[in-house]
Amino acid sequence: MTKFQTQPGFVVQAFRFALDPNASQEHALRSHCGAARVAYNWAVGWVTASWWQRRAEETYGIPQKELTEWRSWSLPSLRKAFNEAKHTDPRFTAWWEENSKEAYNTGLANAAAAFDNYAKSKRGQRKGKRAGMPRFKSKRKTRLACRFTTGTIRVDADGRHVTLPRLGTIRTHEPTGSLRTRVHAGTARVLSATVRHERGRWLASFQVEVRRDIVRVARPDVVVGIDLGVKTLAVLADSTGEIRTIPNPRHYDRSLKLLGRTSRTVSRRQGPDRRTGRKPSKRWVKANAARNKVHHRVGNLRTDALHKFTTAVAAEYGTIVVEDLHVAGMLRNRRLARHIADAGFGEINRQLNYKTGQRHATRMIVADRWYPSSKTCSGCGAVKAKLPLHVRTYECDACGLVIDRDDNAALNLAALAATAVTGTGVAGDQDTAPAVPKPRGADRKTRTTRTRRKAEAGRAGGATLPHQRQTETRDRTQAEALTLW
């Protein structure tokens, strides 16, 4: 993605509108998105071809200096090579002129980014899950998307149409006055536009540089702690002692009965079979569209509810304290994965992050992932060694405080904002008392399991377990390879 130099007082914001294309325009949209996929696959094949060629030549005993040169995956190199190939390669000569050059540039830019992510992940310079080598995109599974950075990109004066390169003027489902007014007033500048097919409809997202003044929040001196959960979506406890509970809408759970009915209807129709090449019947296509419509509605309801919640919180409090949740790890629990995904924990933190930084003068504090907010007493600061999930009421053994588990965690998170001043993170002693020493059980150590005890006993007796022998062999092999390298 191209990086723009944002002016002081301006932020980059997205304005998204649902499109209402006619039959010919939808065909052109699908053609542009398909061209982006074809360009991406061509770039992946063109770059990796040199890799496989070098590997084959090494097996023939060809010297290192005489091997095939590496092909660069930078965007300028891919553009130059593609412009040469599109005139001679029979896969492109017949149809490449039908689409805008921005469609092919989208695929090439995505391929260059994918190779960069792979190289950085290989060198350990990229955070998150390890990125693998780029693979070809399937025509059946790939999400349709195309990005335009040059050409005629505008919101029309009537407020109900947008104009894009080669696609022309397309009507929108909703008014575009929110963007058109800013552009005409000179407080916004359109940088790029992206069209994509998502949740059964075509969407146009405009990346806009907008002048945005920081809006003062309603309660700038109040600190709020947010504890996310499944039983209730969030518990908000502020520094004034007020505790609010946000119920969990459970949009997906409410639609399970309807989804089951539509899924049974789909299963009774003649669907596609890739092994035999059987085409789906018209009744199957109609039933599958009805089932997808239910899924799309659930996603839209969830997105709307989360945006309303995060916008209200960011506009009210001066300081917001949230937890650094390991959502990917939580989703591995097969009993809670569906409920956690339906609540959208990661999306809440993401929205709060940019809404507090760009729209309001709000400070956002992210508690450490290992901070025991649920185990710590909000009255005296004592920490329990264990607190299972089924225990929903916190009972302090030191001071006798009895409080709801989620309310206690939210109060501790709100008190965490005072750590820089008082040196404590306990709700009951924000101003005066020192921190209470924490007993065993509130650290980051992994709990001792049966397998761990066996391993420790084996090491004490001098025995070596099978998985230890495999680890030692792998480490020795890696050490030898590094020495040879």
> What is residue 460's predicted lDDT score, i.e. its pLDDT?
52
Span 109-140, pLDDT tens digits: 999 999 999 999 999 998 888 899 999 999 98
In a domain, 481, yes or no: no
In a shared domain, residues 335 and 376: no
Catalytic annotation present for 227 = yes
The pLDDT of residue 17 is above 60:
yes
Do 303 and 252 meet the contact criterion of CB atoms below 8 Å apart? no
The phi, psi pair for 459, rounded to 5°, reads: -65, -35
> What is residue 4's predicted lDDT score, i.e. its pLDDT?
47
What is the percent of the chain with per-residue pLDDT over 90, rounded to a whole number?
61
The pLDDT of residue 476 is above 60:
no
The pLDDT of residue 406 is above 70:
yes
Closest CA to 394 of 377, 382, 410: 377
In a shared domain, residues 334 and 390: no
207 versus 11: which is more confidently predicted?
A: 207
> What is residue 454's predicted lDDT score, i.e. its pLDDT?
52
Closest CA to 168 of 264, 68, 317, 24: 24
Q: Which of 91, 123, 155 is the last residue of a domain?
A: 123
Domain that holds residue 156: 14-21+145-211
Q: Which of 90, 123, 156 is the last residue of a domain?
A: 123
> What is residue 342's predicted lDDT score, i.e. its pLDDT?
94
In a domain, 260, yes or no: yes
Residue 320 to residues 225, 360, 378, 414: CA-CA distances in angstroms?
Answer: 6, 12, 18, 8
Q: Tell me the residue type at 73.
A: W
446 versus 217: which is more confidently predicted?
A: 217
In a shared domain, residues 87 and 199: no
In the structure encoding, which two tokens stand for residue 136, read together? 């070809």
In a shared domain, residues 199 and 223: no
The pLDDT of residue 472 is above 50:
no
Choosing from 102, 209, 316, 323, the catalytic residue is 323
In a domain, 128, yes or no: no
In a shared domain, residues 284 and 396: no
The pLDDT of residue 430 is above 50:
no
User: Looking at residues 135-152, what average pLDDT do you find?
Assistant: 93
In a shared domain, residues 180 and 243: no
Choosing from 227, 238, 316, 342, the catalytic residue is 227
User: Looking at residues 30-51, what average pLDDT do you find?
Assistant: 95
> What is residue 6's predicted lDDT score, i.e. its pLDDT?
55
Name the average pLDDT for the chain. Answer: 85
In a shared domain, residues 205 and 223: no
Catalytic annotation present for 221 = no
Residue 310 to residues 129, 232, 416: CA-CA distances in angstroms?
Answer: 27, 15, 20
The pLDDT of residue 343 is above 90:
yes
In a domain, 173, yes or no: yes
Residues 38, 86: Cα–Cα separation, whole Å: 12
In a shared domain, residues 282 and 342: yes
Residue 32 to residues 15, 35, 144, 206: CA-CA distances in angstroms?
Answer: 21, 5, 9, 17
Which ranges in 124-248 belong to alpha helices (H)? 177-185
In sequence order, which residues have a C-beta less than 8 Å from that of residue 32 and are 6 or more positions away?
Answer: 99, 100, 103, 146, 166, 167, 195
The packing angle between helices 282-314 and 345-358, to 10°, is 50
The pLDDT of residue 98 is above 60:
yes
In a shared domain, residues 252 and 182: no
Least confident of 171-175, 285-289, 471-475: 471-475
In a domain, 471, yes or no: no
The pLDDT of residue 484 is above 50:
no
In a shared domain, residues 261 and 350: yes
Dihedral (CA of 198, 203, 206, 210) sign: negative
Do 190 and 183 meet the contact criterion of CB atoms below 8 Å apart? yes
129 versus 150: which is more confidently predicted?
A: 150
In a shared domain, residues 349 and 421: no
The pLDDT of residue 461 is above 70:
no
Query: What's the DSSP call for residue 217?
Result: P
User: Looking at residues 174-201, what average pLDDT do you find?
Assistant: 93
Least confident of 63-67, 201-205, 292-296, 444-448: 444-448
In a domain, 49, yes or no: yes
Domain count, the chain: 4
Catalytic annotation present for 242 = no
312 versus 435: which is more confidently predicted?
A: 312
In a domain, 28, yes or no: yes
The pLDDT of residue 450 is above 60:
no
Place 434 in a pLDDT band, splitting at 50, 70 and 90: very low
Do 121 and 134 meet the contact criterion of CB atoms below 8 Å apart? no
> What is residue 7's predicted lDDT score, i.e. its pLDDT?
63
User: Looking at residues 394-408, what average pLDDT do you find?
Assistant: 91
> What is residue 156's predicted lDDT score, i.e. its pLDDT?
93
Least confident of 159-168, 275-284, 332-341, 476-485: 476-485
The pLDDT of residue 470 is above 60:
no
User: Looking at residues 77-101, what average pLDDT do you find?
Assistant: 90
In a shared domain, residues 454 and 429: yes
User: Looking at residues 268-273, what average pLDDT do you find?
Assistant: 94
266 versus 385: which is more confidently predicted?
A: 266
Choosing from 209, 406, 407, 429, the catalytic residue is 406
Residues 133, 73: Cα–Cα separation, whole Å: 13
In a domain, 329, yes or no: yes
The pLDDT of residue 215 is above 90:
no
